[in-house]
Chains A and B, each alone.
Chain A
Amino acid sequence: MKEVNWIALTIFVLLFGFITWLGFAAARWRKGDLDLLHEWGLGGRRFGTVITWFLVGGDVYTAYTFIAVPALAFGAGAVAFFAVPYTIIIYPLMFLIFRRLWNVCHKHGYITAGDFVKGRFGNRWLALAVCVTGIVATMPYIALQLVGLQVVIGAMGISGTGLMADMPLFIAFVILAAFTYSSGLRAPASIAIVKDILIYVTAIAAVIVIPYELGGFGKIFAAVPAQKLLLAVPGPNTTGAYSAYATLALGSAFALFLYPHSLTGILSASSGKVIRRNAAMLPGYTFMLGLLALFGFFVIASGVDKLPEYAAGFKQFGNNFAVPALLLHSFPAWFTGVAFAAIGIGALVPAAIMSIAAANLYTRNIHREFINKNPTAKQESHVAKLTSLIVKLGALVFILFVPTKYAIQLQLLGGIWIIQTLPPVMIGAYTRWFNSWAMLVGWAVGTFAGTWMAFSVQLANTFPLHVGDHTFPGYSAVYSVILNLVIAIVLTPIFNAMAANKAPVDQTVAADYQT
C-alpha cells in the first residue's frame, strides 16, 4: 500500500478543524431563535447578495462535480462539457421563475416546494408526491458527496482494513451532522465562503501551472484523441450526440432547481432582488466549472493514469481518481492538501444544505400534514433537526455498504424523478390552470416512464427515442417530463368536468408573485 502523504494530510486536517469551528460559531451569526424552523432551516431568510452567491454556488458546484465532470472529460471527452450550457441556462430560469417563487413563499411563510404546492393547489397528496420525490432524489445526492470525500481521503494515502478504512469518513460525517444540528443553514452558508476561496485558488493555480508544466494548451489538446476532442457528428436519420448534449444540458438545468436544496438556498435570500442579482453573478462559477472540465484533458496529456504510483487509486476509484492523481502529480504536497481540503469541504457544504432541505420537507409536508397537525414552533424545529441526522445517517450507511456505482446510478435516476415535479412547482408559479389530480397522474406516469427508459438502456445517460425511421438520443428526464406534461394537459379538462361543482382552492393571489 502507498504511504500516507503527511504534509497534505496535516494541511487538510487543519483546514477541516477551522471549518468545524466555523460551523459551530455560525449559530451566533446574525443571531436568531434556532427553535423556529425558518431560522434553523432557512437562516431566518436574511442572506444578502453575497452570502446567497456562496450558498447557491455551494448547492450547484459540489465536490462530486469537481471530481466527476473532469472524470467524464477524461473518460468520454467533449460530452462532459455539457455542464457548461447546463449552467448557462439555469440562471435565466432562476431570474424568471424563482423570483416569483421567492415572493410567494415569503408572503405565505412557505419553506418547501411541498408547502407551495399545497397552498397553490390545495391538494395534500400532490404536495406529498413533491415532498417524497424531493427526499428520495436527495438521498443519493448526499451519498455522492461522501464519495467525493472518500476519493480525496484515499488519495492522501489513508487506508486500512475493515472498520478502520471507513474511520475518516465517519469522523467527517460526525462533524457535519453536529454542526448542521446545532447551527442549521447558517453553518453551510459560512463554510461555503471558505470552500469557495479554496476552490478558486486551486482552480486558478491549476489552470496556470499545469498547462505551463505540460507545455501549453496546444500540446494538451494535441494529446487528446480525435474522437474525444469534439462531439461525434450525427449520421443520417439520427440527431446523435447533438440531441444528447442539448437534452442533457436542458434536463439537468430544470432538474437542478427542482431539487429541495436549491430551493432552500434560494428561499434563504433576503429579497427577490437578491435572487435576480445572483442570476447575473453566479455564472462566475460556471466559468470555473468549464475550466475544471478541462482538467480531464490535462490528465490525458500528463499521462498520470499510466504511472505506477497511481495505479492503485485508479483501480479503486476508477476515473474519479483522475483529478486527485493530477493534483498529486503537479503540485507540492502542501498545496495538494489545500486542494483536497477544498474538495472535502466542498462535499460538506452541499451535504449539509441537502440534509436540511430534506428535513424541512419531512417536517412540513409529512410530519405536520399527517402526524402532528399542530406542533409548537419548538417541536417543529426539533423534528427537522432529528430528521437531518437520520437523512445523513442514511447516506453514510449507503456509502459504507453499497458499491459507489449504485450511488451514481441512483443519482442519475434522482434527476429523472425530481424533474417530474416541474408542472406543479415551476409552471405552478405562473398558473393554476392544471388540475391537481391530473398533475398527480402525470407525475406518476412520468416517474414510471423515466425509470423504465433509464433501465432499458442499463442506466446509460441517454435514451434512443425512435420516431418513424428517426432516432433522437436524449436524456430520459426530458422525454419523461414531456410525457408527464402531455398527460396533465389532456387530463385537466376531463378531471375538471368530473368535479365541476368544486371550487378550486388557492391560498395565493396574483399579486403575491410580484414585488
Chain B
Amino acid sequence: MNNTDKKRGGWSWWYLLFVVQFAVALWPPLYNRAEPYLFGIPFFYWFQLLWVIISAVFTAIVYFAVEE
C-alpha cells in the first residue's frame, strides 16, 4: 500500500512520454512541409492529426502504467 502511494504521488519515468509529446507538438520545423501528401492532404496537417492520436495513446500508456 505504502509502495503504491509513493508511486502515485511522486515522479514516474513514464512521464517522459509527455515530454516527447510536448517537444514534437511545439517544434514546428519538424512538420512544416507539404511532402509527403497522404490522400491529398499535406504532411503539415496529417502529421499533426496523427500526433493527436499518438499523444492519446501515450497518455493512455502512462495512465495504465501509473494508475493500475
Contact = CB atoms under 8 A, between A and B. Distances in A.
A85 B48 contact: yes
A179 to B, nearest CB: 33
Contact of B26 (A89, A217, A283, A284): A89
B22 to A, nearest CB: 6
Interface residues of B, number: 35
| Pairs of residues from A and B, 8 with the lowest C-beta to C-beta distance, nearest first | A218-B40, A217-B40, A514-B9, A283-B56, A85-B25, A92-B18, A280-B59, A280-B60
Nearest to A92: B18
Nearest to B55: A88
A95 B63 contact: yes
Given A280-B56, A290-B52, A246 B45 contact: no
A219 B39 CA distance: 11
Give the one of B8, B33, B56 with max A CB within 10 A.
B56
Interface in A153-197: none
User: Is the contact region of chain B dominated by helix, strand, or loop, or is it mixed?
Assistant: helix
Q: Which residue among B9, B26, B51, B55 has the maximum number of chain A CB atoms within 10 Å of its CB?
A: B26
Contacts of B15: 96
Contacts of A216: 39-40
Interface residues of A, number: 44
B32 A230 contact: yes
B62 A95 contact: yes
B47 to A, nearest CB: 10
Interface of A: 78, 81, 84-85, 87-89, 91-92, 95-96, 216-221, 229-231, 233, 241-242, 245-246, 249-250, 273, 276-277, 279-281, 283-284, 286-287, 290-291, 294, 510, 513-515
Interface in B14-66: 15, 18, 21-22, 25-29, 32-34, 37, 39-42, 44-45, 48-49, 51-53, 55-56, 59-60, 62-63, 66
Contact of B59 (A217, A218, A279): A279
Contacts of B26: 85, 89, 246, 249-250
B42 to A, nearest CB: 6
A233 B32 contact: yes
B18 A88 contact: no
A152 B45 CA distance: 27
Given A242-B28, A242-B32, A290-B49, 7 more contacts: A88-B51, A91-B56, A231-B32, A231-B44, A280-B56, A281-B56, A287-B49
Given A89-B25, A246-B27, A287-B49, A221 B8 contact: no
B4 to A, nearest CB: 9
A245 B25 contact: no
A76 B32 CA distance: 15
